[in-house]
Amino acid sequence: MRGGGWGRRTLIAIPYAWLLVLFLAPFLIVLRISLSDFAISQPPYSPVLDLPACFGEADLPAAEGEAPDLLSCLGGWADQFWGLVEEWDFDNYIWLTQDNIYWLSYITSLEIAAVSTLLILLIGYPIAYGMARAPKAWQPTLLMLVILPFWTSFLIRVYAWISILKTEGLLNQFLQGIGLLDEPLVILGTNTAVYIGIVYSYLPFMVLPLYATLVKMDESLLEAAQDLGCTRFTAFWLVTIPLSIPGIVAGSMLVFIPAVGEFVVPDLLGGSETLMIGRTLWTEFFGNRDWPVASAVAIILLLVLVVPIVLFQRHQDRAQEAGR
């Protein structure tokens, strides 16, 4: 695609415009609504895109933002700004700080996502490593077996655990059957069940990038390390692990970020005490029908996730460059 022809511009414009309208613009609307008044924003929802009315001329100096302009029009501008803040209130955000449930939800979500990511890494690494070292003839089949669950419904895979983890479920039947337990374990409806569900459903997301980096690795590097005095374990620790860091980062991001906002797992496997933010948002939206608060919850969640998302992005860009 050389030059800057008309065709090239159209080609760029089509997916670009689609994503701008259906991905980026929605976030701005969420932001706008998170800053609006409870009363006027409750469904049936009426005015949203009256941005010119509240932004008006105030938009101009703000956009240019140069010091001389700012000084010269500070008088009028400042008034308008405060006028706006009165109209755009931060009540929803203040509300979030006052109710413990939101804080707890964020903290619990981050904690569950972080611990799950670590667990998945610990479980997934040996699997990916084994796959990468398996005979070449098996590898396509093994790869397909990891990908297959990815194609089957997330909902169904989470659902499958309900009958296993229930008090009278298959796990307890088995453990009591072999005489290991007298009393059934209570797992369903606890955080343990949430961990199991997240580890189970996100495992392939970790194994795939790990496998991709491990299988590319030059075996002679390990031989060189051993030749230079490493044991097999230290060679693994000093060569294999550092070289697989791109895979570890990619896998962890692919697991951690969506897991923070996970809804299905805590809703189906967790109990009432499992406060995860995705679920809180869902309840706020569908249960309490408080759209501005739900929007504020979403905005804060996005702010929390901005750093890992940017990290993931840079990783993807670098991977793209490397493949070139």
Partner 1 sequence: MRRFTWFNATSITLGFVFLYLPIILLVIYSFNDSRLVTVWGGFSGRWYGEALRNDAFLSAAWNTLQVALVTATVATVLGTLAAIVLVRGGRFLGRTLFGGMVYAPLVMPEVITGLSLLLLFVSLDVPRGLMTIMLAHITFAMCYASVVISARLVSFDRSLEEAALDLGCNQFSAFLRVTLPNILPSIIAAWLLSFTLSLDDLVIASFTSGPGATTLPMRIYSQVRLGVTPEINALSSMLVGLVTVGVIVASLISKRAETRRLAAERAAR
Maximum pairwise Cα distance, the chain: 83
Q: How far is the CB of 229 from partner 1 (least distance, A)?
A: 19
Residue 68 or 183 with smaller CB distance to partner 1: 183
Tell me how long the chain is: 324
d(CA 84, CA 171): 58
φ and ψ at residue 263, rounded to 5 degrees? -115, -45
Neighbours of 258 (CB within 10 A): 16
From the DSSP assignment, how many helices (H) and strands (E) are in the chain? 20, 0
Residue 67 or 322 with smaller CB distance to partner 1: 322
CA atoms within 13 A on the CB side of 252: 17
Residue 95 or 150 with smaller CB distance to partner 1: 150
Q: How far is the CB of 133 from partner 1 (least distance, A)?
A: 5
* DSSP secondary structure, 66-131, as one string: -HHHHHHTHHHHHHHHHHHHHHS--HHHHHHHH-HHHHHHHHHHHHHHHHHHHHHHHHHHHHHHHH
Query: Are the C-beta atoms of residues 81 and 65 closer than 8 Å to each other?
Result: no
Q: How far is the CB of 300 from partner 1 (least distance, A)?
A: 11
Residue 69 or 218 with smaller CB distance to partner 1: 218
Residue 61 or 119 with smaller CB distance to partner 1: 119
Q: How far is the CB of 202 from partner 1 (least distance, A)?
A: 11
Residue 102 or 166 with smaller CB distance to partner 1: 166
Reduced to 3 states, what is the DSSP secondary structure of residue 143?
helix
